[in-house]
Amino acid sequence: MESDDETSGPMIDDEIYANGVDGDDEKRSRPIISSEQLDIEAYASLYSGRTKIIRLLFIAERSQSNQAMELEALRMAYDEIKKGENTQLHREVVQKIGGRLGPEYGMDVAWCDAVDRRAEQKKEKLENELNAYRTNLIKESIRMGYNDFGDFYYAHGQLGDAFKNYVRTRDYCTTSKHIVHMCMSSTLVSIEMGQFTHVTSYITKAEQIPEALDPVTVAKLRCAAGLAQLESKKYKLAARKFLETGPELGNHYNEVIAPQDVATYGGLCALATFDRMELKNKVIDNLNFRNFLELVPEVRELINDFYTSHYASCLDYLGNLKANLLLDIHLHDHLETLYGQIRHKALIQYTHPFVSVDLNMMANAFKTDVAGLEKELEALITDNQVQARIDSHNKILYARHADQRNATFQRVLQTGNEFDRDVKSMLLRVNLIKHEYNLRAARKH
């Protein structure tokens, strides 16, 4: 490889080592995580409520080729459902188990009947209470009545009815804290339903009342906004929202997201969309986000490796994380896109400092073959992301650097022409005003 600066020999060696091509033992032996199977029990313990069950069912659905993992997820989902009141989910999970876990994980008809009976009684009681409140026109009691109905429907998995009742509390809110509570409840149900336009709308409403927002609520809103931007495939905006999440979040929002998810989602979105300066200032030097990264050392290490140009190590981390990240309910649809963008950025950054790059060495650094690397570089050159040309015979990439002197002269000439045109226009205008040309034309008409 040849650098732009002839005096930078040692820097070239460091760059080559950093890219995983060669170097002493210390530089080569960077720690790489093992590709371990997801610990479902540890993963599920990060969450609570409905999202815990839905995530377990998603893992089971995605792990059908691994029966032990699938059945473990279904068993845990079954046990979790029995702690709640959602008989519909119970029937679904029993159907998915299909008798493979023995009679103790079959349809519990008695439990379903008892829960449904209690639900009917509770619903009737709530209806009577709400009717009494509406008759007496007590706004706070009516708000609480609708809120209780929302909680009731949410617990029984009727998300549409829960959302309607939470929204109805809006007309009976008497303080700003009540409005924030309504927004948070509506946001939670909207996330569960996958209605992220509603999520964005209610986050905006809550943020318009800053005096009613405590640090924990602000952190929850940032997470919800990050999820909404992620689902919209606006990865840079998603990264910013996750990076703005304060450490106050803790485990206060585990009915939606875990702190580990904030680190993973924010880190990958930032890697895919931020330039080096943003990565340094907003991620690596971000003290608040560092608290989240400490919970997921693999993500922390791959970000540091990417920034320090240890691309082989970075790609190893990404490869080892991929199988488990594909089991994430929010990230799985976006993983291929994010991984592709991160790899393209790594290729661009690798080639940027050099006049020429040996494709064999580069292929070794990125753990691919030369033919595959050529195709990737061709796509980047075609998209004008890499200014270079490929010598396919000698397997060398030559950078096409712009002639800075010529470009400067062209800009000076263009600026001069624009100035000349502007001055002539001003002189013409002055002469027209001086000879009252506009006034004469108006009089004739």
Q: Determine the structural domain holding residue 376 and report its residue range.
A: 354-399
425 and 394 within one domain: no
Over residues 105-118, the mean pLDDT reads: 91
pLDDT for the residue numbered 401: 62
The predicted structure's pLDDT at residue 14: 39
- How would residue 355 be classed by pLDDT, with cut points 50, 70 and 90? confident
Assess if residue 379 is contained within a domain.
yes
**Is 158 domain-assigned?**
no
Classify residue 390: in a domain, yes or no: yes
Whether residue 412 sits in one domain with residue 395: no
186, part of any domain: no
Examine the domain organization and report whether 365 and 390 are in the same domain.
yes
Q: Would residue 99 count as lying in a domain?
A: no
Q: At what angle do helices 335-351 and 311-325 cross, to 10 degrees?
A: 180
Q: Are residues 389 and 421 in the same domain?
A: no
**394 inside domain:** yes
Q: Is residue 429 part of a domain?
A: yes
Binned at pLDDT 50, 70 and 90, residue 20 comes out as: very low
CATH code assigned at 376: 1.10.10.10
So what's the pLDDT on residue 7?
A: 39
- Closest Cα partner for 201 from 215, 187, 188, 181? 187
The token pair at 442 is: 């108006």
Split at pLDDT 50, 70, 90, the class of 444 is low
pTM beyond 0.75: the answer is yes
Average confidence (pLDDT) over 77-85: 91
Strand partners, 390: 397
On whether both 359 and 373 belong to a single domain, the answer is: yes
The answer as to whether 418 is a domain residue is yes
- Domain shared by 359 and 395, yes or no: yes
The predicted model gives 127-146 an average pLDDT of: 87
Q: Scan for tokens 């009684």, then name that residue.
A: 121
How far is residue 129's CA from residue 303's CA, in Å, rounded to a whole number?
55
| 61 vs 16, higher pLDDT | 61
Alpha helices for 169-246 (secondary structure H) = 176-193, 196-207, 215-231, 235-243
- Reported as a single tens digit per residue, the pLDDT across 181-205 is 999 999 999 999 989 999 999 999 9
Among residues 182, 185, 149, the alpha carbon closest in space to that of 165 is found at: 149
Number of structural domains found in the chain: 2
Mean pLDDT of 271-282: 90
Q: Which of 24-28, 163-167, 290-294 has the lowest mean pLDDT?
A: 24-28
Burial 66-96 (b: 16+ CB within 10 A, else e): eeebbbbbbbbbbebbeebbbbebbebbbeb
3-state class (DSSP) for residue 391: strand
